[in-house]
Structure 1
């Protein structure tokens, strides 16, 4: 989610010219942007699941399918709650100069929300494919959903992070941009022509 606010690691980009509160404001804004994307997906999934219980076919579901439905519905609710919790945390701590703490908590909540969302997606795929094709097809499709989400949401960021490690390792400390790929505006502290 948001960038690590800890000590710099070898190969990290040069630090931005911002205070810790400015960094926290920027990171919280980035978290909110990410949550807007995921919340839309969760809302669509939740609406889809809610309507299933009122279809003509729903009474014909077997016990496993009903259990899958209820579990998936509850996972979607939990995911939505985790994704909206950062707004509640921010609202309750607003004006108390707690933004760095809010960012840390919000980032963790969003991370847990993504994990829960993976299982909600896999459960919904299991249910739909089980009803449409059969139990074996549902299990295979659900496992495939887990693998794809784990690859795109877990493995891909690790690979991208690893691929960018050498971008800032030259002697001058310069690179292609800031810690999030954006070139910092203004001179860096200690740059030529800048007063101390």
Structure 2
């Protein structure tokens, strides 16, 4: 097989400086964060309204505890997923973009884990209130497993399978 320019560039990666790579990675990261931010903000907004409904006062102590944990997880996820925006604004122009991109990426990972926990707890609470059935934990576990496959297992498998060593 003949070595072409495409093969050489793929084997060596992109021909970009550290700053150019940081700029590109920042743009990619911020697009990803926008999707997650929207989801967590909508979910968190709905969670905040629950306590002001008549149904909230009818929840069992266990369901109220699940609600409080869920709201706290949603607040933490919101903070972690909005964090990269604040980080960028504060360090912009300080010539630390590569470091900022690494930190923003870590915040995004933490935010996604917290979002996963928020969504799982929200589903648990909703199904407990809606059905009062003992199979609810099994349903929630199934959805959690699905989230883990979609969010982590498939991306990690793809990275392992298609990343050159």
Normalised to the residue count of structure 1, the TM-score between the two structures is 0.75
Q: Who is 1:85 aligned against?
A: 83
1:117 — aligned with what? Answer: 115
CA distance in 1, matches of 2:121, 2:147: 13
Once superposed, what is the RMSD of the aligned Cα atoms? 1.6
Q: Which has the higher helix share?
A: 2
Work out which structure has the larger RCO, using CA pairs closer than 8 Å and 6 or more positions apart in sequence. Answer: 1
- Which protein has the larger Cα radius of gyration, Structure 1 or Structure 2? 1
Deviation, 1:163, is 2.8
Shift of 1:55: 1.8
In structure 1, distance between residues paired with 2:40 and 2:22: 26
Structure 2: gaps (5+ residues) = 1-9
1:135 CA displacement: 5.2
> Contact (CA 8 Å) 1:126, 1:138: kept in 2 or not?
yes
- State the Cα distance separating 1:58 from its structure 2 match: 1.1
Report what 2:24 is aligned to.
Answer: 26
Question: Within 1, Cα distance between the matches of 2:127 and 2:155?
Answer: 29
Partner of 1:37: 35
Kindly state the Cα deviation for residue 165 of structure 1 after the two structures are TM-superposed: 3.5
Instruction: Provide the rounded CA distance (Å) in 2 between the counterparts of 1:107 and 1:165.
Output: 19
Write the distance in 1 (CA, Å) between the matches of 2:133 and 2:26. Answer: 42
Distance 1:72 1:110 in 2: 19
Q: Deviations over 1:156-186 (max 9, x none)?
A: 10111133236xx8xxxxxxxxxxxxxxxxx
Paired residue for 1:137?
Answer: 135
Q: How does 1:172-187 map to 2 (within 5 A)?
A: none
- The aligned counterpart of 1:48 is 46
**Shift of residue 148 of structure 1?**
1.2
Give the distance between the partners of 1:135 and 1:127, measured in 2 at CA. Answer: 12
- Listed as ranges, the gaps of 5+ residues in structure 1 are 1-11, 170-196
Match of 2:105 in 1: 107
Q: Are the equivalent residues in 2 in contact too, given 1:127–1:138 (CA < 8 A)?
A: no
Number of residue-to-residue matches in the alignment? 156
- Pick the aligned partner of 1:96 from 72, 94, 97: 94
Output the TM-score relative to the length of structure 2.
0.89
2:153 equivalent in structure 1: 155
